[in-house]
């Protein structure tokens, strides 16, 4: 850090989230934009250099925020760990091998990893875990409904899966063992203990997620709606400012919000 200002680099600076992150960094009084990466080296963004290599960005940054693509995660993990550059990671859909690369990097650098950097979603995940523990699977069916803009390419969304993981964690089960999604045709009765997913796409919806617990006698719903993508980029910058100066380890937004140590 220089003169108390955190130099933040943005991986994928020309992407939708990258452009939002530029604005969030500029609006943060204790941060400045150090540069970004793109598929090929390109013209500066707001006066900051744009590199083709994550290593070059790390060399001019105190911390890197990364919302790029799952295919880059392992390489970014190695490069940032080698340069001891802290990492805020918002990329979702990681395989077991890619997640292992993140965990390995966290042995050398502080890493914040989250499927969603919204403070509201962070609280939803915490409540989902508590509700999963309190509402028994034999009596309460858990379903997650999400809707996003028409351009979204993955389903269920990373946030929906994170909500499902939280419910499964509360019930002390593995989500992959109880997940049901993409129901179509004659599927038979709903399995007891299943955690169901429904994905809707249309228009320019930023993101809507609803967790439903339904029994024979009642239904409880927990909904989060995002109206502006700035909630994600502002949250990521908030996470970056919190992460600076922390010891190596794997952290999440609950750490940032002071919900756990």
Active site residues: 148, 152
What is the rounded distance in angstroms from the CA atom of residue 110 to the CA atom of residue 127?
Answer: 26
Helix (H, G, I), strand (E, B) or coil at 86: coil
Quickly list H helices, the chain: 16-27, 54-59, 73-82, 96-105, 119-134, 158-170, 175-178, 230-243, 253-256
In this structure, is the dihedral angle defined by the CA atoms of residues 153, 9, 237 and 72, taken in order, positive or negative?
positive
What is the rounded distance in angstroms from the CA atom of residue 145 to the CA atom of residue 48?
Answer: 40
Residues 115/249, Cβ–Cβ less than 8 Å = no
Residues 164/178, Cβ–Cβ less than 8 Å = no
In this structure, is the dihedral angle defined by the CA atoms of residues 227, 229, 234 and 235, taken in order, positive or negative?
positive
Q: Supply φ then ψ for residue 232, to 5 degrees.
A: -80, -45
């Amino acid at each position: 850090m220089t003169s108390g200002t955190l130099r933040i680099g943005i991986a994928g600076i020309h992407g939708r989230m990258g452009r939002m992150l530029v604005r969030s960094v500029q609006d943060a009084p204790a941060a400045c934009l150090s540069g970004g990466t793109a598929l090929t080296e390109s013209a500066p963004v707001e006066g900051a250099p744009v590199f083709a290599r994550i290593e070059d960005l790390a060399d001019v940054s105190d911390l890197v925020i990364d919302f790029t693509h799952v295919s880059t995660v392992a390489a970014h993990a190695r490069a940032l760990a080698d340069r001891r550059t802290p990492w805020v990671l918002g990329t979702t859909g990681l395989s077991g091998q890619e997640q292992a690369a993140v965990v390995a990097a966290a042995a050398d650098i502080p890493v914040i990893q989250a499927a969603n950097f919204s403070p509201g979603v962070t609280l939803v995940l915490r409540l989902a875990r508590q509700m999963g523990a309190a509402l028994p699977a034999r009596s309460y069916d858990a379903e997650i409904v999400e809707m996003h803009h028409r351009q979204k390419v993955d389903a269920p969304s990373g946030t929906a899966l994170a909500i499902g993981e939280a419910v499964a964690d509360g019930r002390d089960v593995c989500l992959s063992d109880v997940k049901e999604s993409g129901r179509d045709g004659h599927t038979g009765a709903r399995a007891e203990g299943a955690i169901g997913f429904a994905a809707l796409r249309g228009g320019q919806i930023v993101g809507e997620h609803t967790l439903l617990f339904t029994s024979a006698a009642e239904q409880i719903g927990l909904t989060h709606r995002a109206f502006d993508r700035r909630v994600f980029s502002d949250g990521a910058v908030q996470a970056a400012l919190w992460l600076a100066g922390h010891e190596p380890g794997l952290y999440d937004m609950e750490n940032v919000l002071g919900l756990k140590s």
